[in-house]
Structure 1
């Protein structure tokens, strides 16, 4: 009943607040639906079976049209233009996709996601709006942590039967929780009072879920993202009283909390990276994906403009050598967002994707520099937190097929909002 109450109360609140306060609440509602509502939830049968994401997406589009003249056009933004080009190109691939029916379905969902992202940029126009989106994402991840705390691991030592609409498997969901873990760290450093307490609770639930999930890619993502945040905060030239002591205390507290939740199963899973270091054809290990990546590269030579959605899964038996042990199936995923993008969209799509990521990091660098000049520490922390989350998420999805993952494009949305709102504040000298 708690889950059902959280779901309905959050949705009703977001609808009302998007009309009464700021339309950014509709975007927050979209993010919360992504985490809360899924057919895998045990309480799914106890709520009306409606397309809740469709209604909130429609609300976002209507509000974006209503507020079309309230801020600078989104079509002048480089990332938005790159996303438009990517969406149009991905849909065009349908003309030569190896599995046209599958590609049409996935392309429509991808284009709808990009439309919501672009419209959302129009609705979130300030630092406070950005903070609402970050909190919505963090609370959504915390709910997943709470849900996994209830269900626990299976007899096989993994979390199963928990996911979101585009990530039904545990590894894809864990990569999304990496963002939430880093956001919790940022909010703990950034917020005060009750909000800091909430960030601690969220972080504890998320980290505990990641431990139970035993996802090695997610472990690496948290290490790289959180490590980057702590390192850059330590090196920052902003005058903070007792900064070194605070950072050391933060690291010590984080390490202590991790020791409290980590168990032998998680330790063994992470250390298996070293145990499986030998690349072999006879046994399927984590390093078997190197053969998948090589096969994906060979496939790209035959399909330089991409072969469409899930094309590597369809064609992988033709490119993976018969003497490679791939487990019980020969049709395998590329196990990397980069190689997934390469096989599905070819070199043009991969270049567009890389340009999008590069532009996102340039945006964040500019905001950090501007914040430093103006002495605006809140903007600096937000930009650094988004940068660390992007680094951590990209690390995790380098071992997963998440090219069309919702969480990736929500993160890009936040970066665009940060850049646009931060640039406006810089022009008028706000802090």
Structure 2
């Protein structure tokens, strides 16, 4: 029955996409982030739902009347240049078959990422997209948090199989990136019961991150929470979340969890860490002999070259770092572009937050930009130890900034409505902004 329900859902979605193309972006996000087909019990795991939704969205976009354009913003230009550069490096890849496969996946991600801009350029649609992302990834965060509480943290939390977040480390980083978006919804939601639900979801997601046993996520989580505390308008819920996680770790997590975290200090004898050092060495030496184009996507699939450049390695390893992954795949120009995209995202978020700080009518944009900045920090820190340079959630979060700039541009061009203030009272009390004159 579960498989039939999933199939019927997607079959019903296609005609709706043809009528309202923006639903294709939401549907594709459901497939990408929640992976509902992986929750089936039979044959849905192998059915191409992403391709079905993607093709329907592209067709609907093409036949849709009206102007279709991508705004020329620093982020869109950099993303286009980076994608073009990966196309070039793929042509000279050292592992052509593996590189082509990974390039095709990246092409799909970038295509749907850029389609998001013209199809989701309104405040309501941006908000809907954030909800879909939160519900999709957050499902596994809440599920993992409950699992950790029930089992007392004796077992690791894993993501859905056969997905980019299947690994415990990758799931944890995705959840770290998600926490600020949940906080954005919490700030923007008026219904108190929905707010309570979102607050509870943040708690479960935090517990799930701890229960992942991911050492990189352990560091990234507290970097993210610290940044979120600094960026939040109301800091108490974030402080209480951080305090609650500390108490949970100290009093409820088992000894093996602490042993796992303490192994960060003893990296010299950790074979996993040493394997990452071998992969990072491979990336550096590959960039030495191919500085401009690197090895193309997935160069570690060329085992002979890996062992030639790193003869002391025990075996071939993945890069386990977004930075060394991009360096090894696309050389120094690729890494510079990748880093520039991340920095530009942070600067763009900061600029939006500054422009909307004193605009009550644009509080939503201020909150979203501030929380997106936190997500980018979480990705930058958590990605130091993971192969996630092609993570679609990262690029979708960047596009949220592009969309926000497009939507608020007309409002920023206009002067804000004047807010009348009440004269000071006899007791010297200041008037509240926006209150009626007495």
Q: Identify which of 136, 143, 167 aligns with 2:139.
A: 143
From 29, 32, 47, the equivalent of 1:31 is 29
Deviation per CA, 1:84-137: give whole Å up to 9, x if none.
222222122233211111111111121121111111111111122111111111
For this pair of structures, how many residues does the alignment match? 410
Pairing 1:56–2:53 present: yes
Equivalent in the alignment of 2:210: 211
SS of 1:382's equivalent?
A: helix
* 8 Å CA contact retained: 1:276, 1:285: no
Q: Does 1:310 align with 2:298?
A: yes
CA change 1:149–1:382 in 2 (3 A) is: closer
Distance 2:3 2:196 in 1: 21
Equivalent position of 2:285 in the other structure: 298
Residue 110 of structure 2: aligned partner: 114
- How far off is 1:12 after superposition? 6.8
Q: CA separation of 1:227/1:186 partners in 2, compared to 1, >3 Å: closer, same or farther?
A: farther
Distance 1:270 1:390, change over 3 A: farther
In structure 1, C-alpha distance between the alignment counterparts of 2:65 and 2:225, rounded to whole Å: 37
Q: 1:207 to 1:17 in 2, by over 3 A?
A: farther
- Pairing of 1:30-429 with structure 2 (within 5 A): 30-37=28-35, 41=38, 43-45=40-42, 47=44, 49-67=46-64, 69-70=66-67, 73-74=69-70, 76-148=72-144, 157-160=155-158, 162-163=160-161, 165-193=163-191, 194-233=193-232, 246-256=234-244, 259-260=247-248, 265=253, 269=257, 272-280=260-268, 283-286=270-273, 289-304=276-291, 305-314=293-302, 315-322=305-312, 330-375=315-360, 376-428=362-414
Alignment partners' CA distance in 2, 1:415 and 1:132: 15
Cα separation, partners in 2 of 1:267 and 1:4, compared to 1, 3 Å: farther
Equivalent residues of 2:32, 2:50 under 8 A apart: yes
Kept in 2, the 8 Å contact 1:312–1:332? The answer is yes
SS at match of 1:125: coil
CA-CA distance at 1:377 after TM superposition: 1.7
8 Å CA contact 1:211–1:266 kept in 2: the answer is no
Distance 1:338 1:274 in 2: 24
Does the C-alpha gap of structure 1 residues 366 and 67 become closer, same or farther in structure 2, counting only changes over 3 Å?
Answer: farther
How does the TM-score come out when normalised to structure 1? Answer: 0.83
**Native 8 Å contact 1:145 1:209 kept in 2:** yes
Shift of 1:192: 2.4
- CA distance change for structure 1 residues 195 and 8 in 2, over 3 Å: closer, same or farther? farther
Unaligned runs of 5+ in 1: 235-245
Relative to 1, partners in 2 of residues 1:10 and 1:36: Cα closer, same or farther, differing over 3 Å?
A: farther
Deviations 1:8-32 (A, max 9, x none): 6875786576566x64332121111
**RMSD of equivalent CA atoms:** 3.3
Q: Point out the structure with max Rg over C-alpha.
A: 2
8 Å Cα contact 2:275-2:317 kept in structure 1: no
- Between the aligned partners of 1:267 and 1:228, the Cα distance in structure 2 is 29
Structure 2, unmatched stretches of 5+, are 418-438
Superposed CA deviations along residues 34-59 of structure 1, whole A, max 9, x for unmatched, are: 133367x4524154853111121123
Quick one: structure 1 residues 80 and 144, their matched pair in 2 at CA, closer, same or farther if it must change by over 3 Å? same
* Cα contact 1:225–1:388 (8 A) shared by 2: yes
CA distance in 2, matches of 1:179, 1:51: 27
The whole-number CA distance in structure 1 between the counterparts of 2:157 and 2:4 is 22
| Partners of 1:107 and 1:309 within 8 A in 2 | yes
CA distance in 2, matches of 1:270, 1:100: 42
Question: What secondary structure, in the 3-state scheme, does the structure 2 residue paired with 1:423 have?
Answer: helix
CA gap 1:18/1:408 in 2 versus in 1, 3 angstroms:
same
Stretch moving more, 286-295 or 115-124: 286-295
CA distance in 1, matches of 2:350, 2:194: 27
Q: Is the 8 A contact 1:97 1:309 kept in 2?
A: yes
Which range moves more in the overlay, 214-223 or 288-297?
288-297
Q: Report the Cα distance in structure 1 between the residues aligned to 2:84 and 2:23, rounded to whole angstroms.
A: 28
Question: Partners of 2:82 and 2:60 in 1: how far apart?
Answer: 24
Moved more, 217-226 or 290-299: 290-299
